[in-house]
Amino acid sequence: MMSLHKWGGMAFVLKIFLAVFLVGAVTCGCTVTRTEVDASKLKEVEGVWAALPVYPGMVEVDSSVSSDDDRVWVEKNYKSDASFSEVRRFYTETLARAGWRLTDEREVKDRGRFRGERLLEFRKDDFEIDVQYAGGRKADLGWDYSIDITSP
């Protein structure tokens, strides 16, 4: 076994540890997720939200704001007794009148299984609105519908 004394003792080990720690800290600092939300993009998303009608009878149970280097998105979760087909019809018709186009509709997998979750994606300019139905995961998620708006 190698003696610590040969390498300068415990001070040497501490110097190596400190060097490794600092390199790791600097490297990690380059890829830290932004915690501050871009104020101008958030204002744009809030403007889209202000113009977005909520399906009658939906009750908001949660909301969040997130961002990365390029985008800001605001998500709101709702409880509702409405069927997916009713909500789909409402948003497809309402958003089309406002210039939004349905770009995707699909069933969502949860851990490789289909549990009745559905997703509608709408686009207008560079903005995206996603309307997600929780399907068989309502009890797990605590909401029936989730709507998020993403900035360009």
pLDDT value at 22 more than 60: no
Q: Select from 42, 31, 35 the least CA-distant residue to 72.
A: 42
Question: Do residues 103 and 137 both lie within one domain?
Answer: yes
Average pLDDT over residues 102-112: 85
Q: What's the pLDDT band for 9 if we cut at 50, 70, 90? A: low
Question: Do residues 117 and 75 both lie within one domain?
Answer: yes
Q: For the chain, state the CA radius of gyration.
A: 24
Question: Do residues 126 and 70 both lie within one domain?
Answer: yes
Host domain of residue 9: 1-32
Could you report the per-residue pLDDT of 40-87, keeping only the tens digit for each? 888 999 999 999 999 999 999 999 998 887 889 999 999 999 999 999
Q: Count how many residues are written for the chain.
A: 152
Distances (CA, A) of 18 to 12, 13, 22, 32, 81: 10, 9, 6, 21, 57
The stretches of the chain forming alpha helices (DSSP H) are 10-29, 39-51, 84-97, 138-141
- Write out 18-61 in H/E/C secondary structure: HHHHHHHHHHHHCCCCCCCCCHHHHHHHHHHHHHCCCCCCCEEE
Least confident of 27-31, 43-47, 115-119, 125-129: 27-31
Q: Quote the CA–CA distance of 58 and 131 in Å, as a whole number.
A: 13
Cβ neighbours of residue 106 closer than 8 Å, sequence gap 6 or more? 118, 119
pLDDT value at 36 more than 70: no
Question: Do residues 24 and 61 both lie within one domain?
Answer: no
Domain count, the chain: 2
pTM for the whole structure: 0.72
Question: Do residues 125 and 91 both lie within one domain?
Answer: yes
pLDDT of residue 135: 92
